[in-house]
Amino acid sequence: MSVDNINFNRNLIIGEFIKEGKFRFSGTVKVNNKIEDCYIASNCKLGQLINLNGEEVWLKSIKKKSKFKYMLYAVKKERGPILLELQAINVIIGDYLRRQRKFENLKGEISYEKTLGNGYRADLYISSQDIIIEGKTILSEDKVASYPNVKMERVIAQLQKIKLLLEEGHNVYYWFVSLNPLCNRLFLNEESNDFIELITVCRKMGMKIVFSTLKYDIEKGFYINRSCLL
């Protein structure tokens, strides 16, 4: 997969978000005064994290055969748009790695959704340096966000697998990306002792944690504007 495979900023359709569906991955929007179903690329209900109802949203037409006519791309907020096509984040990280100079060790050919020998599927993998990058999206309207804020069990199970990867000698980057350009601080949720203990152990074993924020440009679409090691 390359960044050219995802069209970030062309042929966007303006609509109004009505509500999320009863089940995951679905919602209702109004386009040209017509109510339509739309696909939402998220494993959790976005309404738990951000207010969408009644907001202007940007949509993509779904060309292939589907029960959905549109896919939710972004929501327009007062201070700028927020990306909601969560599946695009790995490509955005990959694009950043190709053009950035801050992390010189993260150079090399990138594979996306690479399944390794132990069955673990890495979001991004740089084979020349055996680097695994696990992308994590942060969705919040606040300037300060916490992680994780939903599905703690799933996060812990994944960290347990990452711990095994570190024991095998792999290099791992746990990469947070804030979808809201105004969110510039991240706190790790201390409500779960298991989560804090696991992520602390993984860091001691060499796992790097990166925090990035997105910016929107009418020509380039969404891209990583700044990054730092935590």
> Residue 9's pLDDT is what?
52
pLDDT per residue, tens digit, the chain (230 aa), is 333 334 445 578 899 999 988 887 889 999 999 999 999 988 778 888 889 999 999 998 888 777 888 999 999 988 788 999 888 899 999 999 988 877 878 888 899 999 987 788 999 999 999 999 999 999 888 888 888 776 678 888 889 999 999 999 999 999 999 988 888 888 887 777 888 899 999 999 999 999 999 988 887 788 998 888 88
> Residue 126's pLDDT is what?
94
List the structure tokens of 78: 């007062």
> Residue 46's pLDDT is what?
85
Return residue ranges of the chain for CATH 2.40.50.580.
3-83
> Residue 183's pLDDT is what?
85
Residues 6 or more apart in contact with residue 176 via CB below 8 angstroms: 136, 137, 138, 147, 186, 209, 210, 211, 212, 230
Judged by DSSP in three states, 46 sits in: helix
> Residue 5's pLDDT is what?
34
> Residue 45's pLDDT is what?
83
> Residue 184's pLDDT is what?
82
> Residue 6's pLDDT is what?
41
Q: What does CATH list as the number for 3-83?
A: 2.40.50.580
> Residue 10's pLDDT is what?
59
Return residue ranges of the chain for CATH 3.40.1350.60.
88-229
Which helix or strand (DSSP H or E) is residue 154 part of?
A: helix 152-167
> Residue 135's pLDDT is what?
93
| Fold classified for 88-229 | Trna Endonuclease; Chain: A, domain 1 (3.40.1350)
Task: Report the distance separating Cα 137 and Cα 179, nearest Å.
Answer: 7
